[in-house]
């Protein structure tokens, strides 16, 4: 007979819709950790802790969903501290793990709920641009922002998780919002974003360096993440000419490279394959009709969800 903690990971009894609950937790943990693999581990740990409770303790929990979200948040908060240490030792630039269309990495099927917690797993996945900003925050800022602004936790509830006062948590969330506001460019319609991404793909695939340069903002920045496992620029690239030459050079060095448009973190992006294997997933930020940020993840350990 299987152990209770083993079955809890996929089908926890007494938790309502088990698939829906797992999707919500996975969406939360991904946003807090920036890594789908780490998020899956955190969700599993959350269920294990639920089933380690005494029966009487579980019966006293008024809202299993709230308990799960709170516990998962505490696990992620602890993991964020150690993750910062690991990333200081990372080879080259560290980027969040890109994810495909939400239906490929969550099991959520209902679209009717208006609960903010439900919305996390059903909305378009957060953009790479937002995840990069979240990475610049302290663990407490990140948890306060996600729990309060997305999940609608009160600051008193957030305080119990991060070990700060409610007033301090309000300030943490405010600071996080300011970081996000300061980083955002003027939003463009999804159709315009997709059109620019398509033009970028065409110019890149055709080796048209002039056409590529015309699509790049004068202050464009490109970041590539190889994790020391595959070739990638160890530092950010700046300016249209440097960025264009890098991408054209990369295309030329890998014969048979195929570029196609796919949804990356809820937005139009690009996926590069070679000999049937995915070698890069690329997110693009568009502002005023031009590409101003490019994030290219090449680390094969971060591309597992795409395979």
Segment-wise mean pLDDT, segments of 10 residues, the chain, 307 residues: 41 53 89 92 94 89 90 95 81 94 52 43 66 93 93 93 96 94 77 96 96 97 96 95 95 88 92 94 94 97 91
pLDDT of residue 141: 96
| Domain limit, last residue, from 166, 183, 200 | 183
pLDDT of residue 17: 53
pLDDT of residue 186: 65
User: Structure pTM?
Assistant: 0.84
pLDDT of residue 5: 40
86 belongs to a structural domain: yes
Say yes or no: 46 and 159 in one domain: yes
How many domains does the structure of the chain reveal? 2
Say yes or no: 155 and 195 in one domain: no
pLDDT of residue 88: 80
1 belongs to a structural domain: no
Say yes or no: 55 and 100 in one domain: yes
Say yes or no: 127 and 199 in one domain: no
166: burial class by Cβ within 10 Å (0-12, 13-18, 19+)?
A: middle
Place of tokens 């463009």: 188
Angle at which helices 36-52 and 18-33 cross, to 10°: 130
pLDDT of residue 261: 95
| Domain limit, last residue, from 130, 159, 183 | 183
Q: Which residues pair with 261 in a beta bridge?
A: 270
Say yes or no: 155 and 288 in one domain: no
Say yes or no: 169 and 25 in one domain: yes
Determine the structural domain holding residue 121 and report its residue range. 15-183
153 belongs to a structural domain: yes
pLDDT of residue 278: 95
∠ CA 99-103-106, nearest 5°, is 75
Nearest to 304 by CA among 32, 105, 29: 105
Tell me the Cα Rg of the chain: 21
Say yes or no: 47 and 127 in one domain: yes
pLDDT of residue 303: 95
pLDDT of residue 254: 82
pLDDT of residue 286: 94
88 belongs to a structural domain: yes
Say yes or no: 123 and 197 in one domain: no
CATH of residue 47's domain is: 1.20.140.160
196 belongs to a structural domain: yes
- Judged by DSSP in three states, 241 sits in helix
Residue 61, C-beta contacts closer than 8 angstroms, at least 6 positions apart: 53, 67
| Domain limit, last residue, from 129, 163, 183 | 183
Say yes or no: 119 and 199 in one domain: no
132 belongs to a structural domain: yes
Say yes or no: 24 and 129 in one domain: yes
Say yes or no: 53 and 177 in one domain: yes
């Amino acid at each position: 007979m299987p152990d209770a903690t083993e079955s809890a990971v996929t089908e926890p009894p007494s938790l309502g819709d088990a698939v829906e609950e797992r999707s919500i937790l996975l969406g939360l943990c991904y946003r807090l950790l920036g890594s789908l693999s780490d998020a899956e581990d955190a969700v599993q740990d959350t269920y294990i802790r639920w089933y380690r409770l005494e029966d009487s303790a579980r019966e006293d929990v008024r809202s299993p969903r709230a308990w799960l979200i709170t516990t998962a948040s505490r696990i992620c908060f602890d993991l964020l501290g150690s993750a910062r240490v690991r990333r200081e030792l990372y080879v080259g630039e560290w980027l969040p793990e890109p994810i495909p269309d939400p239906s490929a990495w969550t099991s959520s099927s209902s679209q009717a709920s208006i609960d903010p917690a439900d919305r996390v797993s059903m909305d378009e996945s957060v953009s790479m641009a937002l995840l990069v900003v979240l990475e610049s925050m302290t663990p407490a800022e990140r948890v306060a922002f996600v729990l309060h602004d997305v999940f609608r936790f009160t600051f008193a509830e957030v305080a119990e998780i991060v070990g700060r006062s409610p007033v301090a948590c309000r300030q943490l969330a405010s600071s996080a919002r300011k970081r996000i506001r300061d980083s955002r460019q003027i939003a463009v319609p999804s159709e315009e974003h997709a059109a620019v991404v398509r033009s970028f793909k065409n110019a890149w695939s055709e080796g048209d360096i002039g056409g590529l340069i015309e699509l790049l903002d004068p202050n464009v920045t490109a970041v590539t993440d190889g994790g020391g496992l595959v070739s990638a620029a160890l530092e950010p690239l700046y300016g249209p000419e440097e960025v264009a030459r890098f991408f054209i050079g990369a295309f030329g060095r890998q014969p048979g490279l195929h570029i196609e448009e796919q949804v990356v973190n809820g937005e139009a992006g690009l996926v590069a394959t070679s000999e049937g294997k995915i070698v890069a997933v690329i997110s693009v930020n568009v502002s005023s009709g031009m590409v101003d940020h490019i994030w290219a993840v090449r680390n094969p350990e971060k591309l597992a969800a795409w395979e």
